[in-house]
Amino acid sequence: MLDALNITPPDHGAAVTVSHLDKIYHGRNGTKHALRDVSLRIPAGSIFGLLGPNGAGKSTLINILAGTVIKSGGVVDVWGTDLDRNPRQVRSNIGVVPQELNIDAFFTPRETLDMQAGMFGVPIHERRSDDILELIGLTDKANAYARTLSGGMRRRLLVGKAMVHQPPILVLDEPTAGVDVMLRQRLWNMIKMLNAQGVTIVLTTHYLEEAEALCEEIAILNHGQVITQARTKDLLSGAGTRQMSFMLAAGAAGDVGKVQAEWARLYPGATAPDMTLDGRQLHVRYDPQMVMAGTIMTAVSAAGLTVEDIRTNAPDLEDVFLALTRDK
């Protein structure tokens, strides 16, 4: 099994370091600045999310790391190897799982992995095709033509193709696009298992709940620039306003002014959170950096309101993403 992978992180602890990276495309209609002064650091051994709207520059960045696009400027280090000094080693340090199902329909999974290993110059005695087939759950389909595999099996085979040369970094480009919930969960489990073995995972996805569930750290690109990079929990904790909703008892007086008056009495000088009444529901919007939830509940109670239920709505990664990319 591939749990015998011997992955030793670089001394500086980064799987990928990108400094002031630029990519300019020149064409008949002028120039396009696909990447503009991009700098980021991907920690070794992490699951790292690379997010952004269509056209943000994610694919260009991935293709530069993979050696299929030539950068216009900047410095790229992949697993301790400078791209300019040793591009061949950089390509060996990374495996890319594309979104497209680029598999020969007339090859079996074992033949597919063996051919891919040969393209990377892996000697026959060092190939681990059977181990990889076991890892991706295709041992029983090892000798079946790829055209007979289901869509989910083909997607898992793509992961196997990217692993034949045992790279310490695996880039997954929209790995669960268009798949059902069950297969998505299976792919999530595979990603976690590879990461547990020391493989650094770089994940691009349009499913923000996927990034929130898997990624320890996230960078968001927009218009070719990194607009933020932070740990996922820090992005969420600093996401701005939250909402607390109180379901008032039938017939209970729901005067917002009473709550505001109690707030002013209990916390003189403090800015009151925004309060609105919708039928029996009292909605209170507040900034968790400025107001504690407990102080809101104290003010509601002091106002003499009878509360049947309380719900909180914390921002998720989608809220953060939209706030950072909207109108920018």
pTM (2 d.p.): 0.75
- Is 2's pLDDT higher than 60? no
Question: What topology is assigned to 2-237 in CATH?
Answer: Rossmann fold (3.40.50)
Q: Which residue has tokens 């960078």?
A: 219
How far apart, in whole angstroms, are the C-alpha atoms of residue 31 and residue 49? 28
143 burial (CB, 10 Å; 0-12 / 13-18 / 19+) is exposed
pLDDT of residue 114: 94
pLDDT of residue 314: 64
Mean pLDDT of the chain: 87
Q: Please report which confidence band the pLDDT of residue 239 belongs to, taking 50, 70 and 90 as the band edges.
A: low
How far apart, in whole angstroms, are the C-alpha atoms of residue 36 and residue 24? 8
% of the chain surpassing 70 pLDDT: 93
- Is 3's pLDDT higher than 50? no
**CATH no. for 242-314:** 3.30.70.100
CA-to-CA dists, residue 268 to 42, 263, 282, 315, angstroms: 46, 8, 22, 28
Q: Find, among 208, 209, 232, 210, the residue nearest to 219 by Cα.
A: 232
Domain boundaries defined on the chain: 2-237, 242-314
In this prediction, residues 312-325 reach a mean pLDDT of 72
